[in-house]
Amino acid sequence: MLKVENIFIYINGIRAGGLPLQGREKELLSQLKEGVIACDEEAVVALSHAVIREGFDALRAIFEGLVPGMEHVGNLYEQQEYFIPELLMATEAMYAGLNILRPHVARVDFGVAGAVVMGVVHGDVHDIGKNIVKVMFEVAGFEVHDLGRDVPLEKFVDEQLHCDAELVCLSAMMTTTMVGMRNVIRRIKEKNPEAKIMVGGAPVTLDIADRYGADCFAENAGNALKDAIRMFSMLRQLRQQAMDAETEAERGKR
């Protein structure tokens, strides 16, 4: 089991501080990124299979190949070099790669796993970011109840109660849909004040998270996992302390 302090080294290693990419792996991951940018689904499929066949790390291929490719596509869209049809094709290429790589991602035992409900809020179909966050949570052994995208408010509330999830993760990529998070958070807290809520997505900031009453905000998948692990460890510790205090009080009575 990895110690909590080592989680940071592990996660940072995925994207930056780990072993530098070299040789064939570097070449494959750079081609994966280019494949997404070129909206070339066939190439992304072939390259993803090559990553697995040649024994390279699937998680690294997702975070250092597919994700930077999609981020670059986002920049091209903002510079008006790409339009909606290119976005759709790049999304298909990215998902084709993700579907091949995801089953090969190694799980790591952080010793704090629990149930998490996750989804993209009503009116919003941008689900790539949420699915990347989901991969991270699955790596750490969390049981993810994925509600998908364009999720009606009440579905989050019902699912949290149904699976007694300690954490609900809400994603929104548009300013118009982000405002819906406030109601989801209010309703979940009304029904279960114990549930913790984490929000994220491009327009969301720490200030907004605070104003909406969320417990946590993370700007990317790595930080989302770090914060979730921190939160779960703290909850476990508090529960243990409460149980110890109760046992102590019982002993005192006898």
> By the criterion CB under 6 A, which residues form the site for ligand B12?
67, 70-71, 74, 77-78, 84, 87-88, 91, 123-130, 132-133, 169-171, 173-176, 198-203, 218, 220-221, 224
DSSP 105: P
* Separation of alpha carbons 162 and 181, rounded Å: 20
Q: Nearest CA to 173 among 134, 147, 149, 201? A: 201
- Closer CB to ligand B12, 36 or 51, in the complex: 36
Minimum CB separation of residue 32 from ligand B12 in Å reads 14
Q: Kindly state the smallest distance separating residue 6's Cβ from ligand B12, in Å.
A: 21
Tell how strand 196-200 and strand 115-120 pair up.
unpaired
Of the two residues 67 and 151, which places its CB atom closer to ligand B12 in the complex? 67
CB of 31 to ligand B12, least distance (A): 19
Closer CB to ligand B12, 145 or 250, in the complex: 145
232: Cβ contacts below 8 Å, ≥ 6 apart? 112, 113, 114, 166, 167
Partners of 143 in beta bridges: 115
Q: How far is the C-alpha of 36 from the C-alpha of 65, rounded, in Å?
A: 9
* Identity of the residue, 173 or 184, whose beta carbon is nearer to ligand B12 in the bound complex: 173
Q: Closest CB to ligand B12 among 24 and 57?
A: 57
Q: 3-class SS at 215? A: coil
CB of 250: closest distance to ligand B12 in angstroms?
40
Taking the complex as a whole, how short is the minimal distance between the CB of residue 196 and ligand B12, in angstroms?
A: 11
Minimum CB distance to ligand B12 smaller for 205 or for 240: 205
Burial of 135 (0-12, 13-18, 19+ CB in 10 A): buried
The minimum distance between CB 208 and ligand B12, in angstroms, equals: 12
